[in-house]
Amino acid sequence: MRTSVYFISLATVFPAIIGFSPLVKTDRSQHHGHRTVVAATSEPTITATVTPLGSNVDSTLQSDDLTKQRRRVSVLLCPAQFCVPDDYSDFFDRLSLLSQTDPSMAEIGTCRVAPLPRTEWIKVAKQLPTTEFFEARLNVPKTLDWYFQAIEKGLAEIFAQEGPDANICFVGHSIGGWVARAYLGGMSESSSSVTRLVQQRCTSLITLGTPHVAPETALVDQTRGLIRSIDSRPECSSPALADRGIAVTCVCSSSMKANFFSVDVEDIVAASSYLPLLGRLDESVRGDGIVPLDLAFLEEPARRVIIDQCPLTNEKVRHSHVVPTPWNLWDGYASSIQLPSSFPSYTSDGVVSMWAKYII
C-alpha cells in the first residue's frame, strides 16, 4: 500500500505542489543567499522545536494574552497547488474542536479556503511561451492574479459573516504560503475594499511546508522567478509584516530524509524533490518529503516550528494529506485522493495542535 501510494505521489504531488514549470535550469545574476536553518536546542523527547518570535513581537503578544478575553480569529486557508476547498474540511473540523477544548487557543471564527477549483491552475499555462518564463522573471501580479482574486473572495465571505472588525489569520499550505505572503506584502496590486480592510485586520500568518527561498545553489528555478521576486520585496519580509502587527510562524517537518539508493520509496521521492530545489543532497538535508527545511523558514522575528513526528502515532509527518488530481478537469471542485491516516501531515490529529496555538 505504501509503495503504491508513493509512486502516485512521485508522479503527481512533486511536480504539482512545488512549482509551475518543467525542469528548466536558469542562470541567475542576482544574488539571494542560501539560508540555512538553525534550530533551537531542545530536549530529545520533544517532537516540535520552536524558535520564538523576536522579543518586541513576543512581548506584545504575551501582554495581550494576559489582558484579553479569548480573541476570536477567523482563518483563510490558501491551498496547495491543485488542492480544492473540500480537501481541507477535515482540518477545519479538527481546528474547531481543538479551539473548543483548549482554552489557551484563540476562539476560531469563520474558516474559509480560497475558492480555487483545480481548473484555475491552467491559467499559469499562458505564461509558458513568454520570455519572462524562460528567463525566470515572471511577474507576480500578472501570473497570480487569479489566486489573489480567490483570496479576496474568501476574505469577503469571512467579513460578511464576522463583520469588518474580524481578526484574520492566513494559513498557507505549501505554495499557498508564499502566495499569502505576496498578497499581504501588497503584490496583488489590488485596491479593493477587502484588500484595504485585511491589511488592517490580519493578525497572523502561518505557513505549512512552504518553500520561501530560491537559493542560488538550486538546479532549477521551478517557480520561474516568483519566489525570488517575493523574497526580495521588503514589504513581504518577516520584519515588515511584524511591524504591521502580523505574527509570522513557519512550520516544516524534519521527518523525511532523502536517498536515491534507498529501498524506501519515500526516501527516493524526497531526494527527487530536495536535490533540484537545493542543488545538494547529503545526510544533513531533511524536510517533509517535498520541501527541505533549508527553504521553509523566514528570517527573524518569524517563529520557526520544526516537527519531528506525530506525537499520537510517532509516525513521520509528510508534506500533504492528499494526492492532487490535476487531470480531473471535468469536476474542478472534486476532492483529491486522500492519503491513509497512517500518513500524518500538517493537518492531521496530533499535529495541528503543534502549530494552531499560533493562530492569534
115 domain-assigned? yes
- pLDDT in the model for residue 53: 59
Is there a contact between 314 and 252 (Cβ–Cβ < 8 Å)? no
pTM: 0.84
What is the domain range of residue 139?
A: 2-22+47-358
Is there a contact between 49 and 39 (Cβ–Cβ < 8 Å)? yes
38 domain-assigned? no
- What is the tens place of the pLDDT at every residue in 192-250? 999 999 999 999 999 999 999 887 777 777 888 899 999 999 999 999 999 999 999 99
Is there a contact between 247 and 64 (Cβ–Cβ < 8 Å)? no
Q: How, if at all, do strands 167-173 and 337-338 pair? A: unpaired
- Please report the beta strands in the chain, taking only residues with DSSP state E, as ranges in sequence order: 48-51, 72-78, 107-113, 167-173, 202-208, 247-253, 256-257, 286-287, 303-307, 322-323, 337-338
166 domain-assigned? yes
- What is the tens place of the pLDDT at every residue in 247-305? 999 999 999 998 898 888 889 999 989 998 888 888 889 999 999 999 999 999 999 99
Q: How is residue 116 written as a grid cell?
A: 480555487
Is there a contact between 346 and 60 (Cβ–Cβ < 8 Å)? no
Mean pLDDT of 101-106: 92
54 domain-assigned? yes
129 domain-assigned? yes
How many helices (H) and strands (E) are present in the chain, helices listed first?
Answer: 11, 11
User: Alpha-carbon distance 199 to 207, whole Å?
Assistant: 18
102 domain-assigned? yes
Mean per-residue pLDDT over the chain, rounded: 83
Domain count, the chain: 1
Going by pLDDT thresholds of 50, 70 and 90, the confidence category of residue 63 is very low
180 domain-assigned? yes
107 domain-assigned? yes
Residue 104, domain CATH: 3.40.50
User: Alpha-carbon distance 258 to 277, whole Å?
Assistant: 13
Q: Which distant-in-sequence residues (6+ apart) come within 8 Å of 8 by Cβ?
A: 323, 337
The separation between CA 176 and the C-alpha centre of its own chain, rounded to angstroms, equals: 5
Q: Which distant-in-sequence residues (6+ apart) come within 8 Å of 314 by Cβ?
A: none
